[in-house]
Amino acid sequence: MTRFLTPLAFLLMVLFAAAPVVVAYTPFEQTMGLVQKIFYFHVPSAMMMFISAFVCGIASAVFLFRKSAQADRLALAAGELVVTFGLIVMTTGPLWGRKAWGVWWQWDAKLTSALLLWMIFIAYLLVRRFGGPGAEKLGAAMAIFGMANVPFVYVASMYWRTLHPAPTVVPSLQPGMRGPFWFCVASFAMLYVLLLTLRRRIEDQQASVEELYLALED
Amino acid sequence: MTDFLRVAWIVMRKDLTVEMRSREIVYTTVFFAASCVLVFAFALVREGRPLEDAAAGILWIAIAFAGTLGLGRTFERERHTETLRALMLAPSDRPAIYVGKLLGMLALLAVVEAVLVPLVGIMFHASFLASPLLMLALLVTGTIGFASVGTLFAAMLVRARSRDVLLPVLLYPITIPVIIAGVRGTAALLQATPDEPMARFWVSLLVFFDVVFVTLSLWTFEPLMTES
């Protein structure tokens, strides 16, 4: 498990060093110009955020029904990454929105559901941090319910109005943009796997330290 | 199945009997809901006239706030007397206990809404009786949605530290769809010409939400309430 981490970290450094160059050579979008390039970091981060929410939800369900402590540690790592990638999404999104729509924020379906998913996982981290004994179970319920909640928020806020570009933007990208976009998605996916593994390893080691400590006390 | 319903019925009757004797939670929750309405009135009334659509929002926010208060108090009572542990020790289906608590909570919220709806109607010139059946459907499905998640979370939080703060922190993000659907559906009915197809759409969304979240709660109540 640990053997592939160092090469992965090295590869990632190369990828992220190359990313600005790759993105700089992409064609200019006609109406938005330079600001459109936010898209190369915004969309991959959003993808990782949603994937991470599902990882956290499923791991929480496994923890709850199988009582697997490992699944719980994976869920915690994934929950933290939802908030981290969510922060990237919530920072880059308004920067783009200000230029494209003229406002920092719109109550549109995608924005609302992303914001709410982010808030649910902040609440998840708050519970895990301040819930006291039994907080893992509370957190697990929060993650499962939060995951089930996303489609409802999406449908509900869709009936206001939708301004955010549809997901069909991605397949319709012109060739010069498609390559760099998937380059960025791949980089973010690898970054996600790396962070998830590292964070879970810290939790694993912390658990075994605690175990040893208890064994020593006995 | 009859056993399941019998246990749920007994748990609900127990809650209602305790409440009937002191009436503490009903009185405080209803008064709290009314003062919420008053607070909103200062923000959302200009020159003697309420803003358009304000009534729908105020009604649902007051329900959500009062519901949180009621949930917290109901389970605080159980915690204080250690009776939740006794309930969990009873040789019965755990989900039946959940259903019983949920029914008790729904009864409490029904009383709150019976006061709140006329109050908002009078103070914000809202004609809730324009399409009474759809309005009732919205209230019933919305309240079930809110209370189903709320009862589960309040029950889990009984053992947690800082439970008073954590209940709203956990509950509001999850119940946002209920609030959106309730507010939009009510607003559709309060228009000069009620938009009934729109309200029906929101009712069906709420029914779907209720089914998913009651199922999830029944499914997770047992492992969540088991002390390991």
Q: pLDDT 10s per residue in chain A (218 long)?
A: 567 778 888 888 888 787 777 777 777 766 667 777 788 888 899 889 989 999 999 999 999 999 888 999 999 999 999 999 999 999 998 888 888 788 888 877 778 888 988 999 999 999 988 887 878 888 999 999 988 887 887 777 666 544 556 565 666 666 777 778 888 888 889 889 889 988 999 999 999 999 999 998 87
Interface test mutation site (partner B, options A138, A154, A161, max chain B beta carbons within 10 A): A138
**Cα A30 to chain centroid, rounded:** 29
SS3 B9: helix
- Of chain B residues 107-166, which have a CB less than 8 A from chain A? 149, 152-153, 156-157, 159-162, 165-166
Q: Residue A172: what pLDDT?
A: 66
A144 touches B220 (CB < 8 A): yes
Q: Is residue B215 scored above 70 in pLDDT?
A: yes
Most A CBs within 10 A among B94, B148, B156, hence the mutation to make, goes to: B156
Average pLDDT of the residues in B34-47? 85
At residue A38, the 3 state secondary structure works out as: helix
Q: Output the pLDDT for position B171.
A: 92
- Taking contacts as CB-CB distances below 8 angstroms, the residues of chain A near B94 are none
Is residue B68 within 8 Å of residue B23, measured between CB atoms? no
Domain boundary assignment for chain A: 5-217
Q: Return the pLDDT at B128.
A: 86
pLDDT of residue B9: 93
Nearest to A144 among B180, B181, B220 (CB): B220
Per-residue pLDDT band for B107 (boundaries 50, 70, 90) equals very high
Query: In this structure, are residues B96 and B4 in contact, taking their beta carbons and an 8 Å threshold?
Result: yes
Contacts of B174 in chain A (CB under 8 A): 120, 142, 145-146, 149
Strands B45-46 and B49-50: antiparallel
CB B158 within 8 A of CB B84: yes
Asked if B227 is an interface residue toward chain A (Cβ–Cβ < 8 A), one would say yes
Q: Is B38 on the interface with A (CB under 8 A)?
A: no
Averaged pLDDT score across all residues of chain B? 89
| Total number of domains in chain B | 1
Out of B157, B205, B227, closest to residue A156 by CB: B205
Phi, psi of A103 (to 5 degrees): -130, 155
Question: So what's the ipTM on this one?
Answer: 0.84
pLDDT over threshold 80, residue B86: yes
Give me the percent of chain B exceeding a pLDDT of 90.
50
> Could you list the residue range(s) of the whole structural domain that residue B216 is in?
2-225
Among B161, B162, B173, the residue with its CB nearest the CB of A123 is B173
Least-confidence region, from A42-51, B8-17, B75-84:
B75-84
Q: Is the pLDDT of residue B117 over 90?
A: yes
| Mean pLDDT of the region B73-82 | 86
Q: Do A127 and B205 touch (CB under 8 A)?
A: no
Contact list in B for residue A116 (CB cut-off 8 A) is 173, 176
CB A121 within 8 A of CB A113: no
